[in-house]
Structure 1
Amino acid sequence: MNIKKVGVIGCGLMGAGIAQVAAQAGYETIVRELNDELLEKGLGRIRAFLDKGVAKKKMTQARRDATWANVSGATDLADLADCDLVIEVIIENMEVKQGLFKELDGLCHEGAIFASNTSSLSIAQMAAVTNRPDRVAGLHYFFPAVINQLLEVIATDQTSPEVVEALMAYARVTGKVPIVARDAPGFAVNRFFVPWLNEAARMLDEDIANVPTIDEAGRETFRIGMGPFALMNATGIPIAYHSTSSLAQALGEFYAPADALAAQFESGEEWDLEGAVDEAAKAVVGERLMGVVFGVAAQLVEESVATVEDTERGALVGLRWARGPFGMMNDLGMDRALELVKQAAAHHDSFDVPELLQKQAVAGQPWTLRDVRLEVKDGIAVITMNRPEALNALNEKVLRELKEIIAQVRDDPNARAVIVTGEGPAFVAGADIRAMMSKSQAEIREFTEFGQGVLNDIERMEKPVIAAINGFALGGGLELALACDIRLAATEARMGFPEVGLGIFPGLGGTQRATRLIGKGRACELIFAGGQIGAEEAERIGLINRAVPLQQLLPEAERLAKRIARQGPIAVGKAKTAINQALQMSLEDGLAAELDGVMETFGTEDQKEGMTAFVERRRPEFKGQ
């Protein structure tokens, strides 16, 4: 399912951002507005944001011009007929959206995907008016769409897995961190975030604390820059009010707007953030906010709206919380988390303690939150470094998970080739510096030795490993890529060893593997200068095999992995070992080791099958035996 051309209907603040994101990623993008005046305003927004990016040196003039060249405008809906993906960003009115989708259904080619950016309306109801409900989904962007990396991919019961997969791939190519949510009120993030805002207003109703106290308690408890009232002022009180009203209509009284929120909405004024903070009240406020968030988050997972990990990631990436609801529960302990939810439930007759949370507390186990993800499909194991909120930085937890997954892949006969990539804008942007700063010298040695061992596991595993470098590969991230057998990189990826600028130097094999790969002189320049190089330069000096556009990176890695997976797995594994030995042995010893390896392949069932298939002129069916 190949998306090449994207249509965006509605070019207000959000629509303009969504269109710019698509165009920046290289997609031919057409925006549609109702008339020429609105269209020019929308295109002007995109132009202005691009020019601002150049002025602030966040974008080169060349990239700005290339992005703008991908954008066109239209007032006739028929001009979107050849789009592969159409995203509507119009008024939050079901009848209007249904009318649009019905009209699009008669205009667009049968393979086109329709997506809605709604934050509260049912995707299934929109899909029902089309003849392609399996190709309708939600793409819920977070404001500002150009900057906020989170994207909720909303699937109805009828949305096909292939469409979800295509939208996840599209999201990643456009620089987003996608999470999957079921078509349910509030989806994943707003389901717990909106009650967080509303509970702050409820505490005003109950005279528990004033606005500045609640805001400060919210900031400190969740370790964020703005409290709930400041956030409502920034994003718009009407949005908060309508969101609570929508959730209440679908889910019940607990979600209904607090009296204070309704009154503030009616007044048309912002919250007054001034006043003295009551230090004694902050603990109670923080506990109430946590209790509501923990309870709602557990409830939505219990209802299969989203997974624990996707819900957590939504808070980390979309809301910029230091810890998401499940990470906070793990930090507090399940018994304490359950106690806070019970306290919150005692304040609300229509708020029940989720059974899932009660079972977790009885088990005494923390929520599982993994930073490395593994998927095995069609003989290919894809390992994704999944800590995008920290640019996939390496810490002890990440390395331990990576080691476990490498062992799992090594022992899995169904995994014949491996791809390692990163979620978000980075492959791996190095080690977690803050975590390292708190370690003693003995702990640093232990961490470094362990990291070297993990990368050795990758290099020594008799399965080929392809690094798909999707973004920054710095320090330990580049060392991880160098431990792989083949390196493909997106054309905009950046690589380097910045360690000397921190007063250290690469310690996870960078000095050794880079020297063996590109020679002493180039390795010295790369490490001593501490700078970064682009993918084209990395290809020129032999640091990577080749650079490809980001849209093609994972498809190209998968094509290569599938070609490798079709070969005899024993032969490929022995060949990998022999190639690695070539870097460590004399030619004479290497040839002897090669001979031993070749002889091990003879007499195997795969050798017999391969040669028999060649004689019979058919494709061999290797079993790894």
Structure 2
Amino acid sequence: MSTVQFEMIDEHIGTITLNRPEAANAFSKQLMKDFHEQLDQIEIHQSLRVLIIKAQGEKAFCAGADLKERRTMNQEQVVDAVRQIGELVTRVANLKVPTIAAINGAAFGGGLELSLGCDIRIASKNAKMGLTETSLAIIPGAGGTQRLARLIGLAKAKYYILTAKRFDSFEGEKVGLIEEVVELTDLEDKALEIANQIASNAPVGVQMAKKAMEEGFDHDIHTGLKIERDRYLNTIPTADRLEALEAFKEKRKPTFTGK
């Protein structure tokens, strides 16, 4: 059985499930290979509008690198393994559709970095997380030092990374890392609720809004506004834009086709 499974749960919402609960869903070579194979499908999927990333089991979302496997590697192999995790997270971050990380349990190191590559993070009340690499004599190497700072600010990112502090989902929500905290039994329903809210909007508009924010974030305001205008112009020729205007006039909910 594949360690990563992709499934469409309705016409427009898909899920990626990490399926190594016996190993805390850690990033083994096989899991990364399986993940990339599923992303191959996702990147060309025509009707997908939102992707939820979740994990099997109740204890762990992803514990990061598979340290049992890591102990058998030489230095070059370790560097390559970290590069591969980073490339995987970046591939998730670069998906054109919005992504939601549903963090059910432990999310440490590369596991938290995977969630940082997603657009939205929600977590169960019992989830624990952290970028704890400095306690292992390394640093976050799959985007953590960059993405965490961009999400919660440089000072807070330094605090969590330099101390290697572990924290719960409530603290994560307080600092702006987690958007919502729910009971574990409600986690998938909450992820699906958010996914449905996104999927009900015009796909091109959603994708262009995501691109505008991502592309403009590191620029000055004038460059950012130009990027926003360019992405806005991508929405003008769409049939969905005309459908939204027609639906407003007719006082009904629009039916978007992604065209």
The TM-score range, normalised by the shorter chain, is over 0.9
Question: How high is the TM-score relative to the length of structure 1?
Answer: 0.40
CA drift of 1:617 comes to 1.6
Q: Which residue of 2 aligns with 1:65?
A: none
> Partners of 2:228 and 2:122 in 1: how far apart?
27
One-letter code aligned to 1:528 = L
TM-score computed with the length of structure 2 as normaliser? 0.95
In the alignment, what sits opposite 2:247? Answer: 613
Residue correspondence of structure 1 range 462-473 to structure 2 within 5 A: 462-473=96-107
Residue deviations 1:23-67 (CA, integer Å, cap 9, x gap): xxxxxxxxxxxxxxxxxxxxxxxxxxxxxxxxxxxxxxxxxxxxx
Residue 430 of structure 1 aligns to a residue whose secondary structure is coil
> Match of 2:183?
549
Cα shift readout 1:282-328 (whole Å, capped 9, x = no counterpart): xxxxxxxxxxxxxxxxxxxxxxxxxxxxxxxxxxxxxxxxxxxxxxx
**Deviation at residue 531 of structure 1 after TM alignment:** 2.3
**Cα pair 2:27 2:85 within 8 Å, conserved:** no
Q: CA deviation at 1:604?
A: 1.3
Aligned residues: 257
Match of 1:478 among 109, 112, 131: 112
Shift of the alpha carbon at 1:439?
2.1
Residue number among 8, 13, 26 corresponding to 1:380 in the alignment: 13
Do the aligned partners of 2:216 and 2:227 also contact (CA within 8 Å) in 1?
no
Residue 574 of structure 1 corresponds to which residue in structure 2? 208
Mapped to 2, the partners of 1:411 and 1:429 lie a distance apart of 29
Find 2:35's aligned residue among 402, 410, 429: 402
Q: Deviation at 1:395?
A: 1.8
Q: C-alpha displacement at 1:532, in angstroms? A: 0.8
- Report the Cα distance in structure 2 between the residues aligned to 1:442 and 1:493, rounded to whole angstroms: 33
Name the residue aligned to 1:391.
24
Following superposition of structure 1 onto structure 2, how do residues 20-35 of structure 1 map, counting pairs within 5 Å? none
The residue matched to 1:612 in structure 2 has which SS?
helix
Query: Displacement of 1:615 after TM fit?
Result: 1.7
- Kindly report which structure 2 residues correspond to 1:59-78, keeping only aligned pairs within 5 A, or say none: none
Gaps spanning 5+ residues in structure 1: where?
1-368
Give yes or no for the alignment of 1:518 onto 2:152. yes
Which structure's CA Rg is the greater one?
1
Give the Cα–Cα distance (whole angstroms) in 2 for the partners of residues 609 and 448 of structure 1: 46
Q: Deviation of residue 450 (structure 1)?
A: 2.2
Tell me by how many angstroms 1:583 deviates.
2.5
Query: For each residue in 1:368-420, what CA deviation from the matched residue of structure 2 results, as whole angstroms up to 9, or x when unmatched?
Result: x3100111022210111100000000122212221222231221122211111
Which secondary structure state, in structure 2, belongs to the residue aligned with residue 384 of structure 1? strand
Quote the Cα distance in structure 2 between the aligned partners of 1:571 and 1:475.
Answer: 33
Within a 5 Å distance, the mapping from 1:24-63 to structure 2 comes to none
Residue in structure 2 matched with residue 489 of structure 1 by the alignment: 123
Aligned 8 A contact 2:169 2:181 in 1: yes
SS, match of residue 223 in structure 2: helix
1:428 corresponds to 2:38: no
How do residues 177-256 of structure 1 correspond to structure 2 at under 5 angstroms? none
Hey, what's the Cα distance between the residues in 2 that align with 1:376 and 1:440? 39
2 CA distance for matches of 1:433 and 1:623? 45
Aligned to 2:165: 531
Q: Can you give the 5+ residue segments of structure 2 that lack an aligned partner in the other structure?
A: none
1:519–1:443 distance in 2 versus 1, CA, 3 Å: same
Q: Secondary structure at the match of 1:463?
A: coil
Are 2:196 and 1:562 equivalent residues in the alignment? yes
Aligned twin of 1:107: none
Match of 1:455 in 2: 89
Residues 86 and 143, structure 2, Cα contact 8 Å, conserved in 1: yes
Partner residue of 2:139 out of 505, 514, 518: 505
- SS at structure 2 position matched to 1:415: coil
Aligned match for 1:414, one of 24, 47, 70: 47
Q: Per-residue deviation at 1:521?
A: 1.6
RMSD: 1.3
Task: Answer whether contact 1:413 1:624 (CA < 8 A) is retained.
Answer: no
Displacement of 1:445 after TM fit? 2.6
Distance, in Å, in 2 between the alignment partners of 1:530 and 1:520 is: 15
Higher relative contact order (CA 8 A, sep 6+): 2
Query: Letter of the aligned partner of 1:440 in structure 2?
Result: N
Moved over 6 A (4+): none
Counterpart amino acid of residue 572 in structure 1: V
One-letter code aligned to 1:550: L
Aligned runs of 1:170-181 on 2, under 5 Å?
none
